[in-house]
Amino acid sequence: MKIIKSTILLLSLTVLNCKSPGTTEARLEKSEQQLTALRTLSIQEKKIPRSIDKNGKNIWTRQPYDWTEGFWPGTCWMQYERTQDEKWKEAAIAAQNLFIHHKDLTNDHDLGFIFNNSFGKAYRITGEEKYKQVLIDAANALITRFNKNVGCVQSWDVVDNWQSKRGWKFPVIVDNLMNLEMLFEASEITGNNRYREIAITHANTTMQNHFRPDGSSYHVLDYNPETGAISAKVTAQGYSDESAWSRGQAWGLYAYIMCYRYTKDKKYLDFAEKIATFILNHPNYPEDGVPYWDFNAPNIPDEPRDASSGAIIASALIELSDYTGDRYMQQALHILDSLAGSAYTAKEGENGHFVLMHSVGSIPHGNEIDVPINYADYYYIEALSRLREKGL
């Protein structure tokens, strides 16, 4: 009976997928045309693509380090995995070697984003030992930011910067959940549970404190590092302290599904479903499934969309459907149909050779508004790759 049910579902999903602007394979191939040109540019410049400026000129990752620098090599690794074409492996290696020395940084919480998506992928795809130690080193650097009074890994350092002007002492952002994947991986590959214990503690503290009863999350919580007391619940990248910044919701969804993948603790799965329900049932969730940059942005529908949030949510829902019997798959396919259409996918040769248009970095900072961004492409390719693995 179970087999018949899954076959019917697979058939219906395949039919639905055929009705969309293209098959998964065709979408991946179309993306590859853009990414091939981006690869050439990246190799010529010896830089990692991040976005484009107002004149459409490519912008590279920032110095001295950039939280997005792992996404481009990660995208190249996914291209390599699909095509087995050495040119993608070479591009991935060239890009990740540009920042390998960042593995020991202890002043940044984004080491998981940076290293799990690059060297971590390299290790999982090639099995080559040389990548493993880099991941372990980055995990060792990341856990220096864990504070047991708070039960979290600190996000931003508070030095003489805008964080200190806001009086913060130990800020933790919801995005930080995504860095836990590298800690879970580090425990899997070393057999040392310390990384995993920190990841679980951080996930539990964040589940307890960062989320509202409706399943939405605050962006930033500031903690007292001595007592663990919460001193502020605010935003940095969202519309307001009480709003639901879209990418924050997307990170939370993706991350608790990932926590379930590593722990099989059902509370994470239930929580991910709660976040999914908030997103998918929100009155401001648009018909095409690609969120406005903030669910509470004041001028919806005249507000920028954030394709990166759409791509992250789609990829997350595909994994969620693995654990919940496919009921989120239709929603994921719907988002991907939208992203693959001409409203979001750029024409070949345009958009700085990025695949997707219309992402938002940070509106409050006036940064990267309605532009392509490397992480939107990364999660779009990941979502399509996840579908491809399922034969969809």
Smallest gap from Cβ 109 to ligand GLY, in A, equals 9
Applying CB under 6 A, does 305 fall inside the site for ligand GLY? no
Q: How far is the CB of 11 from ligand GLY (least distance, A)?
A: 37
We find the least distance from the C-beta atom of residue 245 to ligand GLY, in angstroms, to be 9
Among the listed residues 207, 256, 353, 237, the one whose alpha carbon sits nearest the alpha carbon of residue 306: 237
Burial profile 182-193: b = 16 or more Cβ within 10 angstroms, e = fewer: bbbbbbebbeee
DSSP per-residue codes, 119-146: IIHHHHHH--THHHHHHHHHHHHHHTTE
Binding string, residues 67-86; x marks residues near ligand GLY by CB under 6 A: x-------------------
Q: Give 27 or 247: the residue with its C-beta nearer to ligand GLY.
A: 247
| Per-residue tokens: 60 | 């590279």
Of 388, 343, 340, 289, the C-alpha closest to 21 is 340
Binding mask 233-252 for ligand GLY (x = CB under 6 A): ----x---------x-----
Minimum CB separation of residue 313 from ligand GLY in Å reads 13
Residues 6+ apart with CB under 8 A from 362: 236, 237, 368
Structure tokens at 158: 């508070």
Write the binding mask 40 to 69 for ligand GLY: x where contact by CB under 6 A, - elsewhere. ---------------------------x--
Q: Quick one: 236 or 272, whose CB is closer to ligand GLY?
A: 236
In the complex, the smallest distance separating the C-beta of residue 237 from ligand GLY, rounded to whole angstroms, is 6
**CB nearer to ligand GLY: pick between 67 and 77:** 67
**Nearest distance from C-beta of residue 68 to ligand GLY, angstroms:** 8
| Residue 175 touches ligand GLY, criterion: CB under 6 A | yes
The candidate with the shortest Cα–Cα distance to 387, out of 310, 325, 329, is 329
How far is C-alpha 238 from the geometric centre of its chain's CA atoms? 17
* Buried b or exposed e, range 239-259, using 16+ CB within 10 angstroms: beeebbbbbbbbbbbbbbbbb
Q: Is the CB of 122 or the CB of 363 nearer to ligand GLY?
A: 363
**How many residues sit in the footprint of ligand GLY (CB under 6 A)?**
4
C-alpha count within 13 angstroms, C-beta hemisphere, residue 191: 0
Question: Which 180-239 positions form the footprint of ligand GLY (CB under 6 A)?
Answer: 237
Q: How many CB atoms lie under 10 A from the CB of residue 26?
A: 12
User: Minimum Å distance from CB 13 to ligand GLY?
Assistant: 29
Q: Which CB sits closer to ligand GLY, 142 or 333?
A: 142
Nearer to ligand GLY (CB atom), residue 28 or residue 114: 114
How far apart are alpha carbons 52 and 346 in whole angstroms?
A: 13
With beta carbons less than 8 A apart as the criterion, state whether 131 and 119 touch. Answer: yes
- For position 377 contacting ligand GLY by CB under 6 A, the verdict is no
By C-beta, is 67 or 260 nearer to ligand GLY?
A: 67
- Beta strand ranges found along 183-302 (DSSP E): 220-223, 230-234
DSSP 49-100: EEEE-TTS-EEEPPSS--TTTTHHHHHHHHHHHHH--HHHHHHHHHHHHTSG
Which residues are identified as catalytic? 110, 175
Listed residue (220, 207, 213) closest to 362, CA to CA: 220
Q: How far apart are CA 221 and CA 96, in angstroms?
A: 31
CB of 389 to ligand GLY, least distance (A): 25
Looking at the Cβ atoms of 175 and 382, the one nearer to ligand GLY is 175
Closest to 294 (Cα-Cα) out of 219, 221, 244, 343: 244
- Residues in the site for ligand GLY, rule: CB under 6 A? 67, 175, 237, 247
